[in-house]
Amino acid sequence: MSRNIAAGNWKMNKSIQEGVSFMDSFLSNDFPEDVNVILGVPSVSIFALSQQIKKSGKSINIAAQNCHQNTSGAFTGELSPSMIKGAGADYVILGHSERRAYFGESDDLILEKSKAALAEGLKVIFCCGEPLEVRKEMTHIEYVTNQINQSILKLNESDMQNIIIAYEPIWAIGTGETASSQQAQEMHAEIRNVIATEYGENIAAKTSILYGGSVKPANAKELFSQPDVDGGLVGGASLDAGSFAEIVFSF
Ligand code: 13P
């Protein structure tokens, strides 16, 4: 199976209506079969957009951008993994740096959320990545491998096969500054090594490792051509149907 994934992350952008009109245009493309296309949309839009995709007969997947670690209960304002799955998402983005920074999500909590999501049959797009200070100190590899060690590396072998890793250096998110393809490749190779050490070469070879941080049509091809860069998690450029389609065609 191909490891290629083009994933969008709309963050807190687009109303349901705006999402539907994006999809009207986006679904007119015939994307290559060996690219798994995923869109992380606001939770209120999951149901409408997944129904729209189903009607089109296209195989595009929807991701939620967060979930709660419990199955139900008195957690005002939260959504359980089963609610997300029931609305039509097959994936959930967890551990995004914005959730770590603005909502205080720790490695432990991200592990708990991952377990809860996997138990409901959702696949997890697990995000990691270092801030600028860490990159300047040249300790980025230890920083990111530690984030992985403290969370998803505690999963069992079968759960690990439903994890997609997104390396998103914080200094490259929404800044227009992209990691060079060498910087991305270096980190992705290290991440794959960590997985191989824990779960063996076979699982490591099957794991998709995405790069995120100012991916756009102009740099996607170069980034995706690196041997350990299996695709992208795209913020800003996924908001435009034409730009995101170009990225999907960049493998
Ligand atoms: P940008 O592509 O806007 O830099 O965002 C990246 C990101 O955070 C995707 O999750």
Query: How is 52-118 classified by DSSP, letter by letter?
Result: HHHHHT--EEEEES---SSSSSS-TT---HHHHHHHT-SEEEES-HHHHHHS---HHHHHHHHHHHH
Q: Which of 14, 165, 167, 214 to mutate to test the pocket of ligand 1 (most atoms within 8 A of CB)?
A: 214
Beta-carbon contacts of residue 66 (< 8 Å; ≥ 6 apart) = 43, 79, 92, 93, 94, 96, 99, 113
In the chain, the percentage of residues whose pLDDT exceeds 90 is 97
Q: What is the pLDDT of residues 9-38, one digit of tens each?
A: 999 999 999 999 999 999 999 999 999 999
* The one catalytic residue among 168, 188, 190, 246: 168
* The one catalytic residue among 68, 96, 140, 188: 96
CA-based angle 185:191:197, to the nearest 5? 135
Query: Looking at residue 176, what is its pLDDT?
Result: 86
Q: Is the pLDDT of residue 213 over 90?
A: yes
Residue 38 domain boundaries: 4-248
Indicate if ligand 1 lies below 6 Å from the C-beta of 174.
yes
Mean pLDDT of 57-82: 98
Q: What average pLDDT does the structure give for the chain?
A: 97
Q: What is the pLDDT of residues 173-212, one digit of tens each?
A: 989 889 999 999 999 999 999 999 999 999 999 999 999 9
State both tokens at 237: 């450029």
Q: What is the CATH number of the domain that holds 236?
A: 3.20.20.70
Q: What is the pLDDT of residues 127-153, one digit of tens each?
A: 999 999 999 999 999 999 999 999 999
Residue 68 is a catalytic residue:
no
Q: Tally the domains of the chain.
A: 1
CA-based angle 191:186:150, to the nearest 5? 25
Indicate if ligand 1 lies below 6 Å from the C-beta of 168.
yes
Q: Is the pLDDT of residue 1 over 90?
A: no
CB 96 within 8 A of CB 127: yes
Q: Which of 173, 177, 210, 247 to mutate to test the pocket of ligand 1 (most atoms within 8 A of CB)?
A: 173
In the chain, the percentage of residues whose pLDDT exceeds 70 is 100
CB 7 within 8 A of CB 40: yes
Q: What is the pLDDT of residues 70-124, one digit of tens each?
A: 999 999 999 999 999 999 999 999 999 999 999 999 999 999 999 999 999 999 9
CA of 126 to the centre of ligand 1 (A): 14
CA distance 240 to 228: 27
Query: Looking at residue 179, what is its pLDDT?
Result: 92
CA distance 82 to 122: 9
The predicted model scores a pTM of: 0.98
**Cα within 13 Å of Cα(134), Cβ side:** 14
Residue 96 is a catalytic residue:
yes
Indicate if ligand 1 lies below 6 Å from the C-beta of 235.
yes
